[in-house]
Structure 1
Amino acid sequence: MKAKHIRKAARILLGANLIFAGISHLTFARNAFKAQVPDWVPLDKDDTVVYSGIAEIALGSALVLTPDKYQEAVGKAAAAFFVGVFPGNISQYQHKRSAFGLDTDRKRLVRLFFQPVLVFWALKSTNNI
């Protein structure tokens, strides 16, 4: 399989996962996502979850639907989003908040190491690196 096809499949998979995560922010996992919102965020936790869910649906849709010539920009936006929400993952770890099966310090710590993977995935699947 050509590298171009692998990148496209990876991009579509990442986009689909973002769409699913965004929908879950707005529906069945809404309360669980509140556990990741740091206390210092100046918005209501529920509003923050809703806004981030909308952003995930938009980014996921863009990864799936945007023409190839704009994919690098979309990949950079998705990578920036993953960097932007990372403090929420850190907050969840620091405050020992259980959500999504992350019910031990070890699981919450291991989760932190997956965020750079998402950044890399967003950039690599859109041919930014």
Structure 2
Amino acid sequence: MEANTVKKIARMALGANLIFAGLSHLTFARKEFQAQVPDWVPLPKDDTVIYSGIAELALGSSLVLTDAAHEKTVGKAAAGFFTAVFPGNLSQYIHHRTGFGLDTDRKRFLRLFFQPVLVYWALKSTHNV
């Protein structure tokens, strides 16, 4: 399979996952996502979950629908988002908050290593790396 085809499939898969995550932020998983919101965020936890869900829907849709002229910008925006939400994952680990089956410190710690993968995925699938 050609490299550009693989990148397009990876970009579409990442976009679809972000759309699903955004929908889950707004509906059935709102409570679960609140466990990841650090206490220092100056908004109510539910508002933060809703706003991040809207951002995920926008980024996911952009990844799916973008054209070649804009995919690098969209990829950088997605990578920036994944970087920006990392403190939430770190907070979940530090404060021992259960959510999404992350019910032990070991699971929460291992989850931290997935965030750089998402950043790389966003950049690689949009020809930034």
TM range (shorter): over 0.9
Tell me whether 1:95 sits opposite 2:95 in the alignment.
yes
Aligned residues: 129
- The aligned counterpart of 1:28 is 28
TM-score (norm 1): 1.00
DSSP-derived class of the 2:127 partner: coil
- The aligned counterpart of 1:106 is 106
**Distance between the aligned counterparts of 1:4 and 1:67, measured in 2?**
13
TM-score (norm 2): 1.00
- The aligned counterpart of 1:117 is 117
Instruction: Identify unmatched segments of 5+ residues in structure 2.
Output: none
**Distance between the aligned counterparts of 1:68 and 1:104, measured in 2?**
42
1:107 is displaced (CA, Å) by: 0.2
DSSP-derived class of the 2:99 partner: coil
1:66 is displaced (CA, Å) by: 1.1
- The aligned counterpart of 1:37 is 37
1:68 is displaced (CA, Å) by: 1.2
Instruction: Identify unmatched segments of 5+ residues in structure 1.
Output: none
How much is the aligned-residue C-alpha RMSD, in angstroms?
0.3
1:30 is displaced (CA, Å) by: 0.3
**Distance between the aligned counterparts of 2:101 and 2:37, measured in 1?**
17
- The aligned counterpart of 1:72 is 72
- The aligned counterpart of 1:126 is 126
**Distance between the aligned counterparts of 2:74 and 2:50, measured in 1?**
21
- The aligned counterpart of 1:58 is 58
